[in-house]
Amino acid sequence: MSLDWQEGSSGRRVAIDGVLVIPDDAMVIVPIRNVVLFPGMILPLTISREQSVLAAQQAVKTERAVGILLQRNIEVEVPGPDDLGLVGTVANILRYVTLPDNTHVIVCQGLQRFRIVEYLQGYPFLVARIGRIDEPEMTDSQIEARIIQLRERALEVLQFLPQASQELQNAVKSIGQAGALADLVASVSELKVADRQRVLECVDLQRRLDVVLDCLLGRLEVLRLSRELDERTKANIDQRQREYLLREQLKSIQKELGEGDGGNSIEMETLRKAIAEAEMPEEVVKQANKELRRLERMSDGSGEYSMVRAYLDWLVELPWKEPEPDHIEIAEARRILDADHFGLEQIKKRIVEFLAVRKLNPSGHGPILCFVGPPGVGKTSLGQSIARALGRKFVRASLGGVHDEAEIRGHRRTYIGALPGNIIQAIRKAGSRGCVMMLDEIDKLGAGIQGDPSSALLEVLDPEQNNSFRDNYLALPYDLSRMLFITTANVLDNIPGPLRDRMEIIQLPGYTQEEKLEIARRYLVGRQLIQNGLREEQIEFTEPSLLAIIRDYTREAGVRSLEREIGAVCRRAAVNIAEGTIHALRVEASDLAAILGPGKYDNEVALRTGLAGVATGLAWTPVGGDILFIEASRTAGDGKLILTGQLGDVMKESAQAALTLVKTRAANLGIDAASFEKTNVHVHVPAGAIPKDGPSAGVAMFIALASLFVDRPVRNDTAMTGEVSLRGLVLPVGGIKDKVLAAMRAGIQRVLLPARNRRDLEEVPLQAKERLEFIFLENVDDAVRHAMRQ
List the catalytic residues.
Answer: 696, 739
User: Are 133 and 112 spatial neighbours (Cβ–Cβ below 8 Å)?
Assistant: yes
CA 125 to each of CA 370, 404, 567: distance values in angstroms, whole numbers, following the listed order: 95, 73, 104
Evaluated on CA atoms 743, 745, 746, 748, the torsion sign reads positive
Task: Considering only CA atoms, give the Rg of the chain.
Answer: 45
378 is in an annotated binding site: yes
User: Are 570 and 523 spatial neighbours (Cβ–Cβ below 8 Å)?
Assistant: no
23 is in an annotated binding site: no
255 is in an annotated binding site: no
Buried residues in 472-497 as b, exposed as e (16+ CB within 10 A) = bbbebebebebbbbbbbbbeeeebee
CA atoms within 13 A on the CB side of 714: 37
681 is in an annotated binding site: no
Strand order in the sheet with 13-16: 5-7, 13-16, 19-20
Evaluated on CA atoms 573, 574, 579, 584, the torsion sign reads positive
374 is in an annotated binding site: yes
Burial zone of 727 (CB within 10 Å; 0-12 exposed, 13-18 middle, 19+ buried) = exposed
DSSP string, 577-607: HHHTS-S-EEE-GGGHHHHH-S-S---HHHH
Q: DSSP class of residue 714?
A: B
User: Are 695 and 654 spatial neighbours (Cβ–Cβ below 8 Å)?
Assistant: yes
375 is in an annotated binding site: yes
The separation between CA 36 and the C-alpha centre of its own chain, rounded to angstroms, equals 52
User: For 489-591, where are the alpha helices, taking DSSP H only?
Assistant: 497-501, 513-519, 525-531, 543-548, 560-579
CA 747 to each of CA 95, 403, 548, 592, 686: distance values in angstroms, whole numbers, following the listed order: 107, 42, 13, 21, 19
Angle 97-98-103 from CA coordinates, rounded to 5°: 120
The three-class DSSP label of residue 397 is strand
Query: Looking at this protein, which amino acid is placed at residue 144?
Result: E
Residue 199's nearest CA partner among 36, 366, 74 is: 36
User: Are 78 and 50 spatial neighbours (Cβ–Cβ below 8 Å)?
Assistant: no
380 is in an annotated binding site: yes
User: Are 477 and 431 spatial neighbours (Cβ–Cβ below 8 Å)?
Assistant: no
Q: Which residues are annotated as a binding site?
A: 373-380
Q: Which residues are annotated as a binding site for ATP?
A: 373-380
